[in-house]
Amino acid sequence: MYDVAIIGGGPAGLTAGIYAARAKLKSLLIERGMTGGLAATTEFIENYPGFSEGIGGPELMNRMEAQARRFGLEILNSNVEALKKENLNFIIKTEDTEFTARTVIVATGAQPQRLNVRGEETFHGRGVSYCATCDGAFFKDKHVAVVGGGDAAVEEAMFLTKFATRVFIIHRRGELRATKIVQERARQNPRIEFIWHSVVEEITGNEIVTGVRIKDVRTGQTSELPVNGVFIYIGYSPNSSIVKELVKLDERGYILTDANMQTSCPGLFAAGDVRQKSLRQVVTAVADGAIAAVSAEKYLEQNR
């Protein structure tokens, strides 16, 4: 029997583990892959407070894990296959065994939807990115492409104009899905150019990205566009399937919580990118994790 079980070992989960273990709660973190989440795949993080010269994503996550282990957090590498509530406790079924916990913090994150084109995986971290806020500064005075037509794609394209001299928005339709005010701002930005009715067929390069091959969906004609970076914004998919029968989700599948990270299921908390929120960054994930752990501790005190 654990006081707190944390599902997911990214920044939110590790921070929840630090706070829970430090509070002397018997705590278990279950991560299906390597700890660190998407942050561990980010080559360099420049906007995390306290590191004036920046820090590598893997190093930051390794430090968080070491800190959590120092306070006594148990970490298990396994896939959670099912989560259910029985009376006041939760049963967590993994590939190999079952665990019981009095509270659960879900920190399973969200995955960027992929284009699934040739070169995308090859150049991930070497010109292909899913986060302009994280990586935009690396493309100062460069040309970049943004794939997508929703609010996130257009807003991130405008953000990229702070660094890149030219930003191409590639969209498969002839009009954007972004809100009108966002569209207007983008159209007024002299550094943004729109490529309509087009899809990316391949991301090209050698050691780093040098261009994209795009196809006009109306004519089938292909062309090459030289760019130094490709930012993909065709949506995110929250990893919330294990709790879809337990908690309320929004229309996109993100977990709904209050300010204390409490879900609609008592004793079940959510933190990080898997919950509905306006900004998904390492710094907001660690804040969520801290709040969730403290809220879990208070819940345990009230339900002894």
Per the annotation, the verdict on 131 as an active-site residue is yes
Mean of the pLDDT values across residues 42-49?
Answer: 82
Q: Between residues 219 and 33, which one has the greater pLDDT?
A: 219
Structure tokens at 116: 């699934």
pLDDT value of residue 293: 98
Instruction: Judge whether 265 counts as a catalytic residue.
Output: no
Of residues 274, 223, 277, 281, the one with CA closest to residue 104: 274
- Under the banding of pLDDT at 50, 70 and 90, the label for residue 149 is very high
pLDDT band of residue 43 (cuts 50, 70, 90) is low
Over residues 121-143, the mean pLDDT reads: 93
Quote the Cα angle for 58-65-110, to 5°.
65
The one catalytic residue in 134, 265, 273, 288 is 134
Catalytic entry in 135, 265, 273, 288: 135
- Give DSSP secondary structure letters for 268-298: EEE-GGGB--S---HHHHHHHHHHHHHHHHH
**Residues above pLDDT 70, as percent of the chain:** 100
Rounded Cα–Cα distance for residues 164 and 142 (Å): 5
The answer to whether residue 135 is catalytic is yes
Say if CB 30 and CB 7 are below 8 A apart.
yes
| Predicted pLDDT of residue 71 | 97
Q: Where in the chain is CATH 3.50.50.60?
A: 2-109+239-303, 113-235
Topology at the third CATH level for domain 113-235: FAD/NAD(P)-binding domain (3.50.50)
Task: Read off the pLDDT of residues 94-119 as tens digits, 9 standing for 90 and up.
Answer: 998 999 999 999 999 998 899 999 99
Is residue 286's pLDDT more than 70? yes
Residue 236 has pLDDT above 90, yes or no: no
Share of the chain above pLDDT 90, in %: 85
In this predicted structure, what is the pLDDT of residue 304? Answer: 84
CATH number of 2-109+239-303: 3.50.50.60
Tokens 């794939």, residue located: 147
Phi, psi (degrees; rounded to nearest 5) at 160: -65, -25
